[in-house]
A and B are shown apart, each in its own frame.
Chain A
């Protein structure tokens, strides 16, 4: 089997179907179940659709740059455009075309882009250099009957090389007369072309740009509602709280869906009687939000052992004495011994003090230099002093 492709074996028993409302809601809220049409991205959909459609109908090529923070629906929108165009092509409304997708993150090396494009075009396998040459020939020579190719390049910033030849080629091919190539590129930062591309690459990318704004709270709410699709699992206020929180922090739709999913789990756990499941309410959502957004530093300090807490106190005392945010272990240790005496605990040996310090450093409450420096290593706090004092005082 030379061309056998590996696959995950199929399961002995089919997966169980969702049994109750909450499970059903959880399935629908999973990020992977992308809906047929994306709510709140109609304008962007329209823009990309008309851009690609016009290129296909004219038989010309072009580039488009799409940017936006993660989780704003860039890839999903482009996929939806392609689905619709494919449907239109099947109905003979637009000329037939083919669609190729590559992702910078899924490649080990920028030059692998050539290999993947060639393989998706012809099924042929070649080394990176050979593939580049073949593609070059393909795109520059006229062929009798050619359909337009639409190419989606995700994770554009990872295709950066020092000579930028991969990006150059990707944007140069559409400008050839015979290529009939439409390239859609996706990246996170808006100013990527200005920042990392040399002029001849940036000019070939052209000025057709689009940026996806982070979702506002109304949009997030609409997304969840449309996913749930009249399934009654959430209280209205709970949904609003989630979307407002997420919109205030990042506007990432994935986060919003994850929190809702977690809230359904909490609701299921808290229900005493499994047959009578209630709606997901405010309290469940609050708990999920706390779990996902709160930082663990304070509880970690609270749960630390007595000597570790004392060491943190010593660090702060030494910082106050020095007026700096950095001290050597030796200096802190003197404070630690004094604090031990005040608290009436037996003094610890230097080795034990070092291991206390290393333990705090391993869970990143402290930032340490390499432990080979022994007592000369410098210690800094990774949390603000106020947080430490709050955590130590609260009980």
Chain B
């Protein structure tokens, strides 16, 4: 610290860190465009050529950009548009219409939005139904022609949702305009579904030009490492060059660290996309995500759904102005933690005991659903109820099965055997705990109709895996030994 201050820096250290955080925040949270798209040069050139031909020659086109979530579809499109609009001719001519399948949930809304974005609303006015709006728009597009009217670029984000609209009217009409001698349009769809063409009706499909641009990442691990380094580095135009230099050197040594490499390899193995990388880096650099609420895609980052972890996120601070390998390991541990196991840590002993009883029932009956009665008493009530008539034989067999094996497992017998009055709860208390488990969705009713059956007899399924329960039990703070033993007890 003192050494750093001793140098002739232009800015105080706190200011530098704020600046650095600002830059990184823009990069990770506000989706600042990179200077040039990485790893997708061929796709970039192809899309740019296509849109340029629409803008300059008035050629109508349609194209789909397909790639998994977080592969950089929107970034690619925005980069292309940025480059395209640098041309003065294009800038003066091109009209843009941006639609999103999540916002424009039906054609009526989409049409209103198109009218608004084309600034035709003062002509159309608020008169006119959906049908008239459509007629107006089609008429407007029909009156245009290739050489004289301004080209329109339609960008359909979440394209596959548009295919679920009634009759696919909007898609048909857009593609039809692109295939007939009307105003020049370019229809660009963005989607993550590989089977998107199978969603289209056949006359819509026939009118689509079948150009698809696939964004699949062919990233190798060294490239990934390099990208992490580049993402964390500060740019050359940073106000305090000394700080930037030191920071970048720190980042370089960080990326060469063996343990860091191991952690990053693990993340790379799990997913190659940049968004999950950003999630890790956001945690790492301690950017308070709440600042980024202005950006559009905030909700998608899993970090932002957990405000309780914010305080421990602010890792880079004045007292520690660099990222250390330990920080990365911590951040990675947070990212990779199992959500259900974390929830189990927060349960009470009674609830944990119920979970264990359910696990035993699950083992014995090989995944058959259970109800509270079985968990609590071990009386297989559902077998008794259906015991009459033709079911007798099966009922007998099952009961026989229960009598020999079940009494050793379930909750009440556990208490009797242990003769431990500490956990001897009343039935309503157990019921309450059971309901709490249901609210946490650790157990789930088999069929949705809960109104018909009484709560004690409603059949449930456990939504946890063995490994999760055992792991949580190991880490549970001050878990009573007999509960642990009961959970471990193998039965034969």
Contact = CB atoms under 8 A, between A and B. Distances in A.
Contacts of A195: none
Interface stretch (B132-140, B384-392, B479-487): B132-140
Interface in A11-43: 11-16, 18, 23, 26-27, 30-34
A159 to B, nearest CB: 11
A356 B270 contact: yes
A28 B46 CA distance: 21
B241 to A, nearest CB: 37
Given A109-B131, A348-B270, A349-B336, A32 B93 contact: no
A305 B463 contact: no
Contacts of A305: 268-272
Interface in A331-384: 333, 337, 345-346, 348-352, 355-356, 359, 362-365, 372-376, 382
A69 B203 CA distance: 8
Contact of B206 (A4, A13, A71, A109): A71
B124 interface: yes
Interface in A268-290: 269
Contacts of B212: 291-292, 296
Contacts of A31: 179-180
A292 B63 CA distance: 11
B359 to A, nearest CB: 13
B167 A105 contact: yes
Contacts of A269: 45, 49
A10 B206 contact: no
Given A30-B60, A254-B179, A300-B68, A349 B195 contact: no
B432 interface: no
A108 B137 contact: no
Contact of A106 (B57, B92, B138, B150): B138
B100 to A, nearest CB: 17
Instruction: Name the interface size band of chain A.
Output: 35 or more
B80 to A, nearest CB: 16
Contacts of B336: 348-349, 352
Interface residues of B, number: 90
A13 B89 contact: yes
Question: Among the interface residues A4, A345, A359, which one has the most CB atoms of the partner chain B within 10 A?
Answer: A359
A6 interface: yes
Contact of B123 (A6, A108, A295): A6
A109 B180 CA distance: 23
B216 A8 contact: no
B195 A364 contact: yes
A74 B346 CA distance: 68
Given A254-B206, A374-B441, A375-B464, A349 B181 contact: no
A316 to B, nearest CB: 18
Contacts of A337: 467
B172 interface: yes
A365 B152 contact: no
Nearest to B340: A350
Contacts of B93: 11-13
Contacts of A374: 441, 444, 463
Contact of B150 (A6, A10, A158, A295): A10
A258 interface: yes
Nearest to B202: A70
A309 to B, nearest CB: 10
Interface stretch (B141-149, B252-260, B308-316, B348-356): B141-149
Contacts of A364: 193-195
A69 B201 CA distance: 12
B236 interface: no
A324 interface: no
Interface in A133-185: 155, 158
Given A188-B202, A305-B269, A349 B123 contact: no
B323 interface: no
A8 B441 contact: no
Contacts of A70: 202-203, 205-207
A291 B214 CA distance: 10
A382 B195 contact: yes
Contacts of A348: 270, 336
Given A108-B130, A307-B269, A365 B194 contact: yes
Given A14-B147, A356-B270, A364-B195, A252 B338 contact: no
A5 interface: yes
Contact of B57 (A16, A32, A297): A16
A32 B118 contact: no
A8 B183 contact: yes
B341 interface: yes
A267 B2 CA distance: 63
A349 B143 contact: no
B214 A7 contact: no
Contact of A108 (B95, B134, B202, B211): B134
B126 interface: no
A363 B150 contact: no
A255 B468 CA distance: 53
B394 interface: no
B123 A1 contact: yes
A262 B463 contact: no
Nearest to B67: A363
Interface string A249-260: 000101100100
A106 B173 contact: yes
Nearest to A365: B194
Contact of B66 (A105, A255, A296, A349): A296
A33 B140 contact: no
Given A13-B89, A105-B172, A158-B167, A8 B463 contact: no
A351 B340 contact: yes
B92 A13 contact: yes
Contacts of B150: 8-11
4 residue pairs, one from A and one from B, having the closest CB atoms: A70-B206, A349-B338, A303-B216, A15-B58
Interface of A: 1, 4-16, 18, 23, 26-27, 30-34, 69-71, 105-109, 112, 115-116, 155, 158, 188, 252, 254-255, 258, 261-262, 265, 269, 291-292, 295-297, 299-300, 302-308, 330, 333, 337, 345-346, 348-352, 355-356, 359, 362-365, 372-376, 382
16 contacts: A6-B136, A7-B149, A11-B93, A27-B59, A32-B180, A108-B107, A108-B108, A254-B209, A296-B212, A300-B216, A303-B218, A303-B272, A308-B271, A349-B336, A373-B444, A375-B464
Given A15-B147, A106-B172, A350-B341, 14 more contacts: A6-B139, A10-B149, A16-B56, A27-B59, A30-B59, A32-B146, A105-B169, A105-B203, A262-B211, A269-B49, A304-B272, A349-B337, A349-B341, A375-B465
